Structure 1
């Protein structure tokens, strides 16, 4: 497949790009910085919000790996994902979002989330809320083939690629060791599994390490 990855120089994005290339896909990396820190030979310097419909023509999948922790830019989680959705509306190109774990539900009624729990770190609330807002905006769209993939609560940047991970639905799920963790490397592999499967259209799912 032809896969475009935006915000390509981010740490998760780089793992996704490496995994996609390893699996033989044709990958283009879009980044706003001049340096290409990815394994993609096709690197396009362009900010997400400057992308046009023409930039994304011909791709089977667009992976949105945008993320920010700066308080003044939290709105960009929604702005960027909605901009990409606008560019891809009424096309067959799929939009895969690198999501967050804070919005995973902790009860069957789906009224409580990880981020609304008493033990959730206060400093993480702004980004969790911003990513939840972006997800809620996506849920209102039936004109885009979007999929939102939430990682486990402990998202480990330098963890190994174990290949041992399990998909779950929108409810926060612990593994057999009563833990919620996944490495960036395993998450990237899971993202490619979702891309290659063609499943979970207009759904949010999650993944955790066994």
Structure 2
């Protein structure tokens, strides 16, 4: 049976990679974005702001991918408000909610008391974004009524990196590959995301991915 998925905030580069990966695997994909024309490979496109989405818009999908991103000081709180809105729309349904997350909230110690964004080498310029995304994740963890999965990329998330077709699946902690790298391309991250939709069962869990 063909998987039906929706991708929200579909205009971004990570979203487009996920859409392409899903379409190439035979998924039926609906993209929700803010552009007038469909900039993605999705078979269906709906121009709609994320806050204007309704429960009816998302009815009937096996999974909804939240690819929302904001980078300016005044819009950073929308990481929490948009995710809360989507969670409310999907609450109590069987539709999975998968979030394109951040790496800053990954833990760097076994006790899970220190995150990557709290380490000395983490760039100051990225801390507001990391904090905003961590806050959204903290709110999400309180939701027992949504089948969510939060997918964090590696520390070096490369928009134009190669599609190697290989990745390591990890959990709450920052994971390095055997070359000591924390790196993943958007294309390989998209593979991991679609794999999770297709055969993963990390419900109400955070996963992370790094290049193998």
For the criterion TM > 0.5, the same-fold answer is: yes
Query: Which residue of the partner structure matches residue 181 of structure 1?
Result: 183
Residue 188 of structure 2 aligns to a residue whose secondary structure is: helix
Q: CA RMSD in A?
A: 0.6
How much has 1:40 moved relative to structure 2? 1.3
Equivalent residue in structure 2 for 1:116, among 105, 115, 118: 118
Equivalent residue in structure 2 for 1:158, among 157, 160, 165: 160
Residue 87 of structure 1 aligns to a residue whose secondary structure is: helix
Query: Which residue of the partner structure matches residue 91 of structure 2?
Result: 89
Residue 58 of structure 1 aligns to a residue whose secondary structure is: coil
Q: Is the 8 A contact 2:28 2:43 kept in 1?
A: no
The reply to whether residue 24 of structure 1 matches residue 17 of structure 2 is no
- Where has structure 1 moved over 4 Å in runs of 4 or more? none
Distance, in Å, in 1 between the alignment partners of 2:187 and 2:14 is 8
How much has 1:32 moved relative to structure 2? 1.4
Distance, in Å, in 2 between the alignment partners of 1:113 and 1:83 is 26
Residue 167 of structure 1 aligns to a residue whose secondary structure is: strand
Alignment of 1:48-197 (within 5 A): 48-197=50-199
Distance, in Å, in 2 between the alignment partners of 1:191 and 1:164 is 12
How much has 1:198 moved relative to structure 2? 3.7
- Normalising by structure 1, report the TM-score: 0.99
Distance, in Å, in 2 between the alignment partners of 1:41 and 1:148 is 25
Distance, in Å, in 2 between the alignment partners of 1:173 and 1:198 is 19
What runs of 5+ residues in structure 2 fail to find an aligned partner? none
Distance, in Å, in 2 between the alignment partners of 1:55 and 1:36 is 17
How much has 1:26 moved relative to structure 2? 0.5
Distance, in Å, in 2 between the alignment partners of 1:51 and 1:32 is 12
